[in-house]
Structures are given as structure tokens and as C-alpha cells.
Structure 1
Amino acid sequence: MQSRAFPGQSRSGQPFDSRRRQVLLAGALGVPALSLMGRSAFAANGKNSVSLAMIGEPQTLDPMFTTADLVGTLMQHVYEPLYTFDSHWRIVPMLAAAMPTVLDGGKQVDIPLRKGLVFHDGKPVQIGDVVASLKRWMEVSPRGKSVAAEVVSVEAASDSVLTFKLKSPYAPLLAQLALPTSMAAVMPASTIAAQLTEFIGTGPYRLKERRPDQYTILEKFDQYAARTEAPDGYGGRRIAYIQELRFIPVPDSNTRVEGVLSGQFDFADLLPTEAAGRLEQGGKQVVPLIGKNFGFPYLVFNTKGTLDSAALRQTAQAAIGAEELMAAAFGDPKFFSIGANFFPQGTPYYSLAGQERYNVNDPKKAAELAKKAGYAGKPIRILASRQYEFHYNMALVLSEQFKRAGLEVDLQVVDWATLLQRRNDPSLWDIYITHSGIFPEPMLSPPQLGDNAPGWWETPEKKAVLDAFNREMDLSKRGPLWGTVQELVYEQVPFIELGKFNSLSARSAKLQGYNPSAWPAFWNVKLA
């Protein structure tokens, strides 16, 4: 995850009619009963709180450790980066006092720190905390490691300014610093360790309690130092109107649908598109949320596994029909579109380079390529999770497409946390299915464009085209360079982008001020 996307995703049964039935259903599904009962499972404490149904349990609370959207969604309330994105995906300051000063032809970036920042333990934020945090980020974060390859040093220039010194100009730097997933989060230097045991940030909420597979509770931080600008996307003023946020793992998508319809959940994330009709008929208590151009599903290829050669990956590519996969995933065409372009028309990075390799869906051609590539019948291990129902539906059709081309398949369906663990071991998989958001900076996603991401795409050609792309600071020149990158992706097949999709989620009508967003955020939100 992977990672998430632009604002705005099976089957459904009957509403629950009692707590007893909820508990029985929970047992049948293997879901903790507490997950189904939402707010009613907690003792009344007189506090203003909400129950938020998420797709599963976060694998970690470390904001740097993973690109998984679920971790970023939760922990963006606890930790904050130096920069963030406004509603138009422009980069704006968060913990930084202002936009940076760029010197030495782009090889020095000076970032001023806001005054008056306070950690959740009551201690003031010092420039040394910021430097230590960024150094840890560059050591442990998949995104940070990509940045580290471009950095000579990051040091305190004064008590209120930190300086990046770069080997060469690096256009994606601020966007990398702004992303909530695998976040360049600022934390106290005293808490920094290879594995965090204290989760202390500067955000409007602080961690109160976590019970794995049951809930994670965040509570309002009364000393939070908010920005003064008007709220805009993730930028501007953040106010914690709600006392407690209760994130509840609900892996079964049907349960999330029924829970929000019955009022057990105030918000339900990433719902199956076929539930749209039921949500629309759910009465005044439920508000369905459709996110336009939410993101793109994609297949990640393991370059160290069964498909270790570009020729074998091209074989798989020829067997794949993106249109069939998108239809299986989202059903109604109003929820998806197909096209070889990674970025929408009208953006600086729109390109059709490599389109002849997209949506081929030719079993005969794939079989011929397999023979030329020396394919020996070894099963292609496909990792997928049912927690994202559309991933699973794609996996079923993908398996059939491969079989039509004479390719053996080993489909492994696991929970999302297990998939995130297995994808780090190249001996365990060949393809995994995930999705991402459509971001304004190409280097933000997929992570395979960077270094050290699962899939391990590292070739001289990749280094050459991305070096040229990332060192060009002039957007009018950088935009056309994306076509060269896209062409190489289609040629070497480290991943395959399948199309674009809209998302479906839902909220209670009582949850006011919530704006559908890439990573659901609940500051500036009130309960009626």
C-alpha cells in the first residue's frame, strides 16, 4: 500500500437487530465482537467520541515504518511532518514556519521551524528533535531511504533552521517530506529507537490506548499548537472538536456496510461498490461518499522470484486484460476507467508512452512469449487480501487470465497484515495486488519507483531515467521526461497500473464537517 488516494470505495446482508446477533455474527466471520459493536462496546464516559470502522488492524503504529495507508490514516492524527498538502495537492507548511529557501542551484534547502510547538509529553519541540527524526526517517522509511540516496547531510543550521545538503537538485524532496504514509514524522529525540516503544508526536490527537484486533483510541491533545491559516485539505488550522477517535478494525466489508447502516459506526472506510444502492437508500442517518479519481490498483512484480527476468514479466503482461480486471473489481463503469496513461490528461505528466503493452489480454501471444522466455511451468504465486474486496476479485480473474495463457498459478489469499509482512520476503511471492492514490508528484507512488521497495526493481536503465527526471527542477521540462520513465515501466514491468477508480465510503449524518480525503482525517470534524 500501499498506499491511498484522492478524496471521495460484496455483497450485503440484513441489518443487525440486536447485540446478541452482532456477537454471533462476529464469531461466524472471525471478527472480534467488539469490532461489530462499535461505540456501544465501550463504557459510557460522557465524552464526545466516534467509532470509525477501518479495513483491518494496523501492522504497526510507527509512522515511518510502512507505506501502508491504514497506518498513515491513524497516525497522521498523532504525528505531523514539516510540510503537507492542501486541497489542490499543493505543498504547504505544517511544522515548518514557511516554504524553504533553496540555495546553491538546488543543492541546499533551508527549512525554518515554527515556534511554540509542543510534544504530547509537554516538552517543547527543538531543532535537534527534527534533525534526529529526519535521520531516522532516512534509515527506516521506504520513502526516506530513497531520499537518503540524494542527501549529503541534514543538520541544524541554527536553533530554528535545518538544512538539507543534496548531491544534486532533487525535485521530489518536499513532496516526500509531506506524505502521511511512511511519514517524515517529527518525534522527540529521546523516543527514537530502531523499534518505537513510545508514540509521542505533535498532532491534535495523542495515543490513549491500543488493544490489537479490538481498537486504537486517540484522545484530544489540549496543548496542541494549531496553525493560524484557514483549513485547506491537510493544511491550515487543525482543531480536535471530538474528544476521542476510536479506530476499530473490521476486516469484513459487509460488516462495515451493515455497521454504518445500523448506526454502530460513525464512519466506514473503503466499502464495496455494489453497496452504493443500499447506502443511498439508508435514510437520512447515512451519507454515502463517492471519491472521484480516488486512485489506481496495480500489480507489483517480484524481480527476484519466478518472474525474475523482464521477458517472463512481459509474458505475464501480455496475458493480462486490465479492462476485465477493473470490471471484476468495481462492476459499474461509473466506478472505474481504463487507459495506458498513469496521469490524467491535462496534468504535466500525461503520456501514452508504452500503450501498446497495456490491456493486451492475448493468451496466444503470452504463450508464445512464455516459450521464448524459457518458462518451465513453475507456479506464479499471487498474493491478495479479501480485506480489500476489489483486490480479491481481481486476483480471481487474474488467475484465470494466466491459466488461459498456459501459466500455472498459486493464488494465496491472506489478511492484509500478513500480505504486508510477506511482501518483504522475495522467496514468498511473485505478484501482489495493491492500490495507490493519484498524486501530483510521480515519485510518491508506487514506491517501486524509489529504492528498496518490495519488488526490488533496480536496473541501470531505471537509475538513468529517474536521475534525469528527478534532477530537473523546471516543471515545463520535467513533465515530458515522465514519458521516458513510463515507457521503461512498460518495458521492464516492475509493476502494472490497471486503471483508475472511484471509491465508496460512508459516514453518519451526525458526523459534520468531514471531507472525503486520501487518508481520512477527523480533525475539524464535529458530532451533531
Structure 2
Amino acid sequence: MDRRGFLALSATALAAPSVVRAQGTPGARSTLKFVPQSDLALLDPVFNTALVTRNHAMMVYDQLYALDGSFKVQPQLVEGHVIEDGGKTWRITLRQGPTFHDGTPIRAADAVASIARWCQADVLGQNIRALTEEMVAVSDRVFTIRLKKPFPLLAEALAKPSSFCPVMQERFAKQSPSTQITEIVGSGPFRWVASERLAGVRAVYQKFDGYVPRQEAPSFLAGGKRALVDRVEWHTLPDAATAAAAMQQGEVDWWEQPSPDLLPLLRRNRSIKLEVKDRTGSLCMIRLNHLVAPFDNPAIRRALLPGIRQADYMTAILGDDRSLWNDRCGFFLPGSPLASEVGLETMNGAPDYDKVKRNLEAAGYKGERVVFVVPADNHRLNAMSEIAGDMFRRVGMNLDYQVSDWGTVAARLSNRGGLDQGGWSVWCNTIPGVIALNPATQSYLRGPGKAGTFGWPDLPKIEALRDRFMEAEDFAEQKSIAEAMQRQAFEDIPYLPTGALTQPTAFRSNVTGMLEGFPIFHNIRKE
């Protein structure tokens, strides 16, 4: 029996998982039970930008500005702003009424501290920090940002949907972004129930009755965020078959990323819906550590390109349904205005491992150890890692393939040390497609060195092109610069692109009001 048949049989035969059933939460219609893509290991979205952490943080923290369903910036905690001094001074006023989960009002001082902390960690925030002359609270509801020169994208930066700027209390936001905040006194529509947290098993959220939503209709992350269930439980289940059985028996309400092997089984159940909610999906990649040999050598990074066929990675994640994935993926979201075919000719043929071997020898590879960190409990990353690991072995690299859980991998990624200091060489990753629409927010197409995100590429040519993009005056110029950036990226290799995908999410038919985008928990009802 093949793996697909085994999983389907197991899912049919398994009883509902006791880890969910045993909770016995009163008020089934007021409790939403959710199976996330992986366990929630880290709670601070500034300290760690993992998507599971982002999804959690969007429940408990609010933003100053937010994107609507058309990806337009809207005020969220902000009432409005005035731009003065030729674009160099922003005077921002907060809404009257919103509070933190301890009942204290959200003040301008909290907003200033939250922006300052985020600006230290985020690559776009670092641009704002470098341009800022002064950021100060003028009153409890008003703060000003005085810039050295105009930065029209300030609101867009503060509205980022990933690696976002959460509004925290000043006392927490004063902490270094390199130190994780573990106590959550949030600003969003749900509050964190720390007493019910069980690592590796469960995370619990309660509706925050004191939340003051905007009056507009909800649209993606903007508008009125109304919690319509009293309680949300995240359940980390041991495997896909267990999750499928729990879905079929109504023990859980929503499975974020159902295994493609089990989609036919789930489709046969009339009480379960399968829908693609996030139309921008995800970009997939092999991320290389530029600080550690051998991938500190750009020629060695480039040498791997003939070994990449994106369809292999996409099939490993989602099977043969091409409607769910794209294997003509560069460094921008396929189909978006700035996407192009530039450089794609360097990869995507049948993998030529002999050519990769010759390339590695010519580039000076000397058998250095390659530590590949792999989270077995994340289907997407594990599936890609198996394909990439096989390539590394076939081309003769000295592979140390280290499998653990997502929490262990996530904690390790921030280690910039050598391999003898617990560092790493390579990992597989996905990023939200919405951040790959342009160079301003595509944080993995950056080269600021140690100031950047995990992998820390130092790529001055790409950085110079990005600076030009930020100052471009029309779309034609932006398009030309984006093509130049992609061409340069296939020389510098900030990462190896392995495709783009969308994925159905599975939810019970009595769950209504689910918004478009990644998992968003406000506006959801259980009928």
C-alpha cells in the first residue's frame, strides 16, 4: 500500500483524537477548534516572523494601519494622520476608546515604543529608522514622526501583514527585539489564555470583551474586527491522519493545511468544505546561510541552480494538481505586476546533477559540512527538505540532515554562529505571497547582511536596486528595476526559489464568515 492509501485508510479508521475530545469545553457553538500548520512555539512576532507566530499575533495584537481585501492601506488603531513639512512630518492621531487587555488605554507612547522596537528588527522598519529624525508622543493620542526626507510608504510599512508592527504596551516594547516577549497583554480582539497553554498540544484564546472595533465592514485585516466566538482553541495533532479523523467526526472545526493525500477523503464528507482562502498563497524557497561556508561563496550558491526543478518541490507538497501551484516562480509573486521570466532559464529543466557537481568543483567546494535543519512536523517544509536533501546528496555535498520539530528549528534559525556553535547551513521556507508583490516588502530579497532576516545575505547590488525602486516615479521604471533585481538575484542567490502555491483549507460547514487571506479569526461564527 502506498503512502496515500495508508493515510486515507488510517484517517477513516481512527477514532477522534482524545487530545481534542478530552477538553470538554462547554458551549460547543461558542468555541472554535483549529488545527494550525505547526505547533505555536514562539509568541513574539517581532522576535520571530514565522507564519504560525504571525497568525497567533494577529489575534492578540492590533495594528496602527492594516491592509484591506484589495491590499489598500486603511487606518486601524489610527483615527487619521496629517502629513506636513513637504512630506517629512507625519502627525498621527489614535482612535478614542481602544484599550489593552488589562483595561489600560492604548496611548501614543505605546505606539511610539512599538514602532521603535519593530524598526530595529524588520528590514523595511530599518529603512524608516535610518530616515527618522525624531519620533515622539505629543499627547496620549497624538504622536509625530519627523523624517530626514519624505517617505511616502510609511503607512504601507506599518500595515505590513507579515513581519508586522504589533501594538504593545510601552513596558514590553521597550525590550530588545532580540529578547522574546512571553507575557502577552495584547491590543487585539482575542486575549491570550496563558494558564491553558500546553506546549506541543494546545493554545487557547478568549474573546476580549473590551475590544473596540472600527465601524467599517471587515475586509482582510482592516475594518471592524469582531470576535463572534467566545473561545478559540489551537490543537497541535500528531499527524495528518489524526487531523483528518478529527475533522470528519466534528472534533475540530478548521484544519489550516490539510494533507494533499487526504483531500479526496475530505471532499467526500458533505459536512466539510475545502476552499482556497489565501489567493496570493506562498512563495517557497531553499534558504542558504550566507555567513557560513560553503554558502558564503556566491559561486557555490549559483552552482546548485541546475539541480532545481520547481515542479518536484510543488508535487511533494501538493501532489499533481497544477491548479494549486506554479513552477515558473522567480523572486516576485507569479502573475503579479512585477513578476517576470528573467533568469528562470537557469533552472527548471530536468535536474542535471553532473553539471552541479562540475559547478561545485569549479566554484571551489572542498567538502565543507552542510547542516540542513528540518522540521518534521511542518508538512510543507519537511516535503521540500526531502527533495532538497536528496539533491545535496546526489551532487556530493557533505550533508548533515538534522530532523527535529518546528519549535527547535525556529529557535535555532536566529543563531548566526558557526556550525560548531549550533549554527546552520540551509533550511526550506515559505513566505506569504502578499509580501512578494514588490521589493519594498519582499524581505527575503534583501541584502543588508546581519541586519537582515535569517540567512543574512550581504548583497550591495540588490540593495542599491531596491533603493532605486523606492524612489522610482512611475510603474515602468519600477518594472524595469524589478527585472534588474531578479536578474541580479539569480547571480547573488539570496535563496533558491522552488515554486509558488495556494492551498485549500478545510473547515466544517457550520463555520461561516471566514475572511479571505491567511487564517483570520475575527468575523467567524459557528452556526
> TM class by shorter-chain length?
0.7 to 0.9
- 1:307 paired with 2:302, answer no
For residue 31 of structure 1, what is the aligned residue in structure 2? none
Q: CA–CA distance in 1 between the matches of 2:61 and 2:339?
A: 33
Q: For the Cα contact (< 8 Å) 2:334–2:500, is it kept in 1? A: no
**Which residue pairs with 1:206 in the alignment?**
191
1:162 aligned counterpart, secondary structure:
strand
CA separation of 1:511 and 1:71: change in aligned 2, threshold 3 A: same
> Which residue number corresponds to residue 89 of structure 2?
108
Query: What's 1:151 paired with?
Result: 132
Root-mean-square deviation (CA), in Å? Answer: 2.5
Deviation per residue, 1:314-363 (Å, 9 max, x gap): 11223222222222222212321211443456633122222232325322
The one-character-per-residue Cα deviations of 1:170-218 (angstroms, maximum 9, x if unpaired) are: 4653333123443311122234434435312221111223232232211
Matches of 1:247 and 1:121, distance apart in 2: 23
Cα distance change of structure 1 residues 380 and 54 upon mapping to structure 2, 3 Å threshold: same
1:442-463 CA distance string (max 9 Å, x none): 3333445264211111132233
Structure 2 counterparts to residues 21-40 of structure 1, below 5 A: 22-23=17-18, 34=19, 37-38=20-21, 40=22
The 1:196–1:437 alpha-carbon spacing in structure 2 relative to 1, beyond 3 Å, is closer
Give yes or no for contact 2:122–2:452 (8 Å, CA) kept in 1.
Answer: no
Measured against aligned partners, the alpha-carbon deviations of 1:439-482 in whole angstroms (never above 9, x if no partner) come to 13433334452642111111322331222122336445333311
CA distance in 2, matches of 1:76, 1:59: 16
Distance in 1 between residues matched to 2:123 and 2:248, nearest whole Å: 38
1:220 aligns with 2:216: no
* Partner residue in 2 for 1:391: 381
Q: 1:174 to 1:358 in 2, by over 3 A?
A: farther
Which position in structure 2 is the counterpart of 1:58? 40
Question: Which residue number corresponds to residue 430 of structure 2?
Answer: 435
Q: Select the residue among 22, 31, 34 that pairs with 1:49.
A: 31
User: In the TM superposition, what are the counterparts of 1:400-419 in structure 2 within 5 Å?
Assistant: 400-419=390-409
Is structure 2 residue 348 aligned with structure 1 residue 359?
yes
Write the distance in 2 (CA, Å) between the matches of 1:155 and 1:224: 26
Residues 192 and 204, structure 2, Cα contact 8 Å, conserved in 1? yes
Aligned twin of 1:279: 266
Give the match for residue 335 of structure 1. Answer: 324
Match of 1:512 in 2: 512
| Cα offset, 1:138, TM superposition | 2.2
1:92 CA drift (Å): 1.3
1:522 corresponds to 2:521: yes
Aligned to 2:307: 319
Report the number of matched residues: 501
Per-residue CA deviations over 1:78-124 (Å, capped at 9, x if unaligned) read 111111111122221111113x4444554433333222222211122
Tell me if structure 2 keeps the 8 A contact 1:170–1:471: no
Distance in 1, matches of 2:104 and 2:69, equals 31
> Any idea what the Cα deviations from partners look like across 1:249-286, whole Å, max 9, x if unmatched?
23523322222122111111112222211110022x21
Q: Which residue of 2 aligns with 1:469?
A: 469
User: Equivalents in 2 of 1:56, 1:327: separation in Å?
Assistant: 20
Separation in 1, partners of 2:313, 2:28:
48
For residues 50 and 441 of structure 2, what CA distance do their matches in structure 1 show? 13
Give percent identity, aligned residues only. Answer: 25
Structure 2: gaps spanning 5 or more residues:
1-5
- Determine if contact 1:448/1:456 at 8 Å carries over to the other structure: no
- Structure 2 matches for 1:291-302, cutoff 5 A? 291=277, 292-302=279-289
Higher RCO (C-alpha under 8 Å, 6+ residues apart): 1
- Residue 90 of structure 1: aligned partner: 72
1:160 paired to 2:141: yes
Distance in 2 (alpha carbons) for counterparts of 1:175 and 1:475: 17
Measured at CA, do residues 253 and 346 of structure 1 come closer, stay the same or move farther in structure 2, by a change above 3 Å? closer
C-alpha change, 1:282 and 1:313, in structure 2 (3 Å) is same
Answering whether residue 101 of structure 2 is matched by residue 120 of structure 1, we say yes
Are the aligned partners of 1:55 and 1:253 in contact in 2 as well (CA < 8 Å)? no
With over 3 angstroms needed to count, the CA separation of the structure-2 counterparts of 1:74 and 1:513, relative to structure 1, is same
User: What is the CA-CA distance between 1:506 and the residue it aligns to?
Assistant: 0.6
Alpha-carbon offset, residue 378 of structure 1: 2.5
Query: Over residues 348-381 of structure 1, what are the superposed CA-to-partner deviations in whole Å (9 max), with x where a residue is unaligned?
Result: 3122222232325322322221111111122432
- Asked whether the equivalents of residues 83 and 178 of structure 1 are also in contact (C-alpha less than 8 Å), the reply is yes
Superposition pairs of residues 59-78 of structure 1, within 5 angstroms = 59-78=41-60
TM score, norm. by length of structure 2: 0.88
- Which stretches in structure 1 are left out of the alignment for 5+ residues? 1-9, 24-33
Structure 2 vs 1, CA of residues 130 and 465 (structure 1 numbering), >3 Å: closer, same or farther? same
* Structure 2 residue identity aligned to 1:471: E
Inter-partner Cα distance in structure 2 for 1:252 and 1:413: 16
**8 Å contact kept, 1:16–1:262:** no
| Residue 339 to residue 237, structure 1, CA distance change in 2 (3 Å) | same
> Whole-Å Cα distance in 2 between the matches of residues 491 and 475 of structure 1?
24
Q: CA deviation at 1:157?
A: 4.5
Change over 3 Å in CA distance of 1:130–1:522 after alignment to 2? same
* 2:389/2:401 contact within 8 Å kept: yes
2:332–2:438 CA contact under 8 A, matched in 1: no
Q: Contact 1:171–1:473 at 8 Å: present in 2 too?
A: no
Residue 525 of structure 1, CA deviation: 1.0
CA distance in 2: counterparts of 1:430 and 1:408, whole angstroms:
11
Calculate the TM-score normalised by the size of structure 1.
0.87
Residue 350, structure 1, aligned to residue 332, structure 2: no
Q: Distance in 1 between matches of 2:67 and 2:38?
A: 26
Equivalent residues of 1:383, 1:412 under 8 A apart: yes
Distance 1:393 1:46 in 2: 35
2:459 and 2:492 in contact (8 A); partners too: no
**1:14 alignment partner in structure 2:** 11
Contact 1:175–1:444 under 8 Å retained in 2: no
Residues 436 and 446 in structure 1, CA contact (< 8 A), matched pair in contact too: no
Q: Retained in 1: the 8 A contact 2:372–2:400?
A: yes
Letter in 2 for 1:521: I
What SS is found at the alignment partner of 2:43?
Answer: coil
Q: Secondary structure at the match of 1:296?
A: strand
In structure 2, relative to structure 1, the CA distance for the partners of 1:363 and 1:80 (3 Å cut) is same
2:421 counterpart of 1:444: no
**Does the 8 A contact of 1:322 with 1:338 survive in 2?**
yes
